[in-house]
């Protein structure tokens, strides 16, 4: 796998360090876990949903945490309380512990999370502050006006 060197771009850009770090981490797929499977979908203009297949996990065994542009989903299966040893002839439903991290863009917040039919749904919304939104600047007509006199009297 090739590694892209972003150092020449650091000299001519300001404030894009986080983006280059993200691009660099995306170029290394061998470190990316593949369990559990998930979907990311856009549900509206500024709304998104992450759906994860977490069959076999209860609500109290799942943890969803958002901190500084990182969404972390963790799960750990509780031990069988009855202490009965079970013998599986085939085990196809994975209930191993996992931790999955998602990088969130600026101003993206988690609005809700719910578990239904073995699928964990996490709803996200981008809330851009008013001062960050584009605004229209009114263009006035340029009228000829006399230059203001700063000192002295007109002769």
Tens of pLDDT along the chain (155 residues) come to: 456 666 666 666 666 666 766 666 665 555 566 788 999 999 988 899 999 999 888 899 999 999 988 899 999 987 766 657 778 888 887 778 899 999 888 888 999 999 999 999 999 999 888 777 788 888 887 666 666 667 766 66
Most distant CA pair in the chain, distance: 108
This prediction has a pTM of 0.65
Angstrom distance (rounded) from CA 35 to CA 56: 14
Predicted pLDDT at 154 = 60
**Which residues of the chain form CATH 2.60.40.790?**
34-81+89-130
CATH number of 34-81+89-130: 2.60.40.790
Predicted pLDDT at 92 = 82
3-state SS class at 104: coil
In the sheet with 62-67, reading across from the earlier edge strand, the strands are 62-67, 70-75, 98-103
Q: What is the dihedral of CA 111, 116, 118, 121, to 10 degrees?
A: -20
3-state SS class at 20: helix
The structure tokens 């001519």 sit at: 12
């Amino acid at each position: 796998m090739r590694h892209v060197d972003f150092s020449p771009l650091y000299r001519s850009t300001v404030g894009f360090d986080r983006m280059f770090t993200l691009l660099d981490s995306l170029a290394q797929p061998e470190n990316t876990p593949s369990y559990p499977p998930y979907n990311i979908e856009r549900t509206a203009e500024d709304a998104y949903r992450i759906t994860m297949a977490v069959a076999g996990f209860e609500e109290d065994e799942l943890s969803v945490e958002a901190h500084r542009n990182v969404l972390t989903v963790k799960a750990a299966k509780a031990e069988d309380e009855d202490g009965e040893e079970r013998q599986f002839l085939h085990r196809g439903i994975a209930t191993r512990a996992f931790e999955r991290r998602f990088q969130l863009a600026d101003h993206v917040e988690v609005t809700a999370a719910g578990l239904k039919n073995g699928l964990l749904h996490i709803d996200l919304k981008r809330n851009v502050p008013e001062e960050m939104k584009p605004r229209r600047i009114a263009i006035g007509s340029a009228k000829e006006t006399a230059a203001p006199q700063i000192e002295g009297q007109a002769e």
